[in-house]
Amino acid sequence: MGPPDDVRGRRTGQRHHPRAPLTPGRRSAPAPDKPGLRPKVAHVSEDTIEVDQPNDVDLRAADGRVPGHRGLATRQRLLKATAEQLESSGYRSLKVVEVARIAGTSPATFYQYFPDVESAVLALATDLCEAWHADLRRLITNRDWEHDPDGASQVVAAGMLEFWTRHRSVLRVLDLASMEGDLRFREIRLYLLAGATSALMDLAERSGVPDDPMAAAGVIVGMLAHVANHQAGIERWGVDHDVLVDTVAGILR
């Protein structure tokens, strides 16, 4: 009898090593024949900014087999559980046993799909980045900048802050791992922000902004991401949320 559809892993002889903390320079690009992301280079010209979409994480199970329908459903449950656990525990406190419990399965099943929790978080971020890239681009392009720049700026400012709040658990990991030199997470973060950057660059070119459109767009997106990432701290200083939105919108105008 062949293996069941949900891909049974080997139950004996497997050794799983604990995840070491991320340190600058520790990560290198995965070998081409191994599962994982392959860092890509952003292509930049005078007219446009193109950032390659990260490659999909290899869906092969730990033993090399490709999961079937049930196996992919199990993998998705594990990723959903990883996202849920990130909300309450944070990246450094993730435990395989807790992720498996939330997913309604066992740690042994988790290890059939991911060698460690870091790989699960990477897969989760990769799955989400394409939709988020498009979301941030639409946030800027679906506005009437010509006839209602004030209203457009308000919507973009509020939308960016809300986006960061809604997805803060995964975005925190992207920021942390990128700063620590992990090229895989940095690639995802770059692609995510490129949606907003390219949209703002197009807007700057159409508006006849005297400065370099790419530089202007990059600075604005960097500012938006930083403020959005630290909005809770700014509001703890006593800054009202609506005032924060108005201030960011004023800079966008």
Task: Give how far Cα 15 sits from Cα of 18, 118, 161, Å.
Answer: 10, 17, 43
Q: Report yes or no: 220 and 251 within 8 Å, Cβ to Cβ.
A: yes
CA distance 37 to 185: 9
Query: Could you give the number of structural domains in the chain?
Result: 1
Residue 28 forms part of a structural domain: no
Task: Give how far Cα 56 sits from Cα of 25, 38, 130, 176, Å.
Answer: 23, 9, 10, 21
Residue 134 forms part of a structural domain: yes
pTM over 0.85: no
Residue 14 forms part of a structural domain: no
Overall residue count recorded for the chain in this entry? 253
- CATH code at 86? 1.10.357.10
Residue 106 forms part of a structural domain: yes
Across 66-75, 158-167, 177-186, least confident range: 66-75
In the structure, what pLDDT confidence band is assigned to residue 88 with cuts at 50, 70 and 90?
A: confident
Provide the domain limits for residue 91.
53-252
**Residues 98-111 pLDDT 10s:** 999 999 999 999 99
In the structure, what pLDDT confidence band is assigned to residue 3 with cuts at 50, 70 and 90?
A: very low
Better-scored residue on pLDDT, 250 or 5: 250
CA distance 6 to 74: 7
